[in-house]
Amino acid sequence: MKKIVPVSLLCAALALGAVGCDLSDGYAEPKELLGSWRGGQGAELTFREDGSLTAVKVPTSFADSPSNDNMKPLTWFTGKGTWRLEKKTELGNQRIDVILGEVFGSKESIALKIDGKGAKKGIFIRPSEDGSYTFAFKRSSPHG
């Protein structure tokens, strides 16, 4: 009887894996990010193969909220910039480092995270690692 319990737990774990339970973190290859991505409030990012990008109304700072769960964009960037996909770490979503030109003599940068395998669920900005709020972008056109 004691051996039946561990075997049944193992079978249950394998069954969950077999039905396609995808608990993996987000990751992508650079070619999977190329093209245009749209977010709320008219935000748009277009990634190009040469590492350049175009940004329209991309939020660069957010207003704090007591719970960090409903943060509002405070400032936006429109213009040209560059992007680089970080190497995937063992834990967490893969990161895209974005440099959005210069504002008052200093470079403005944001970090985007990838959601899902091949960014199928989108990309997002998480203003606070303590909160659950994300500013999400969904693919609007491939290879733009």
CATH at 68: 2.40.128
Within a domain: 13: no
Q: Is the residue at 20 inside a domain?
A: no
Average pLDDT over residues 15-23: 44
Is 9 inside a domain boundary? no
Label residue 21 by pLDDT band (50, 70, 90). very low
Q: Is residue 19 part of a domain?
A: no
Residue 11, domain member (yes or no): no
109 forms beta bridges with 99
Pick from 78, 31, 73: nearest CA to 56 = 78
User: Residue 39: inside a domain, yes or no?
Assistant: yes
* Confidence class for position 130, pLDDT limits 50, 70, 90: confident
Give burial (CB, 10 Å; 0-12/13-18/19+) of 142. Answer: exposed
In a domain, residue 7? The reply is no
Per the rule left: phi > 0, alpha: psi between -120 and 50, beta: everything else, 79 is: left
Q: Is residue 64 part of a domain?
A: yes
> What is the pLDDT confidence band of residue 37, given thresholds at 50, 70 and 90?
very high
User: Residue 73 belongs to what domain range?
Assistant: 25-142
Which of the four pLDDT bands, split at 50, 70 and 90, describes residue 9? very low
Task: Answer whether 69's CB lies under 8 Å from 128's CB.
Answer: no
Per-residue pLDDT band for 69 (boundaries 50, 70, 90) equals low
pLDDT in tens, 43-59: 999 999 999 999 999 99
| Main-chain dihedrals φ then ψ at residue 84, nearest 5 degrees | -150, 130
Number of domains into which the chain is organized = 1
